[in-house]
Amino acid sequence: MFMGEYEHNIDEKGRMIIPAKFRDELGSTFVLTRGLDQCIFGYPLEEWKVLEEKLKSLPFTKKDARAFTRFFFSGAMECQLDKQGRVNIAPTLRKYAKLEKECTIIGVSNRIEIWSNAVWEDYYNDSEESFGEIAESLIDFEL
């Protein structure tokens, strides 16, 4: 399980250190793709395969299903860490997530998310104000 929040920089070549706590969970090969809310999602291969099967089951006759799967899969790329624990993030993903220098990497259960610090701070501040309302609108999981 991925959890926690870490800050790292991305260099001019698109390389960024993945937190050591996430490296073992991600495995030697993992998948990065466009995420929701203008971040990058990162999945271990096993989790990616589970997600792939779920997305395959969406009805391709539905316009929204086709659009979502195109968006999700067209941005996907298999990645590997280098000897320094860095991943090279493709220019298209960097552009989508507005990754320029300072980044935030968070653990979200079965995936990691890579955010531009500025985008993460805006998202966090907006969500923090309505966190209680969001919690109330979800099913009671007896937390």
- CA 95/CA 133 separation, integer angstroms: 32
Write down how long the chain is.
143
Task: Read off the pLDDT of residues 94-138 as tens digits, 9 standing for 90 and up.
Answer: 999 999 999 999 999 999 999 999 999 999 998 887 887 777 777
pLDDT tens profile 39-58 = 999 999 999 999 999 999 99
Residue 142, pLDDT score: 57
Closest CA to 81 of 47, 8, 30: 30
Average pLDDT of 26-43?
Answer: 96
- Among 33, 11, 29, residue whose Cα is nearest residue 112: 33
143 in any annotated domain: no
pTM of structure: 0.92
Q: 123: domain CATH number? A: 3.40.1550.20
pLDDT for the residue numbered 87: 98
- Cα–Cα distance list, 62 to 30, 54, 73, 96 (Å): 29, 15, 17, 25
Q: Tell me the residue range of the domain where 55 lies.
A: 2-137
The reply to whether 142 falls in a domain is: no
Separation between Cα atoms, residue 84 and residue 40, nearest integer Å:
21
Domain contains 126: yes
Q: What is the pLDDT of residues 76-86, one digit of tens each?
A: 999 999 999 99
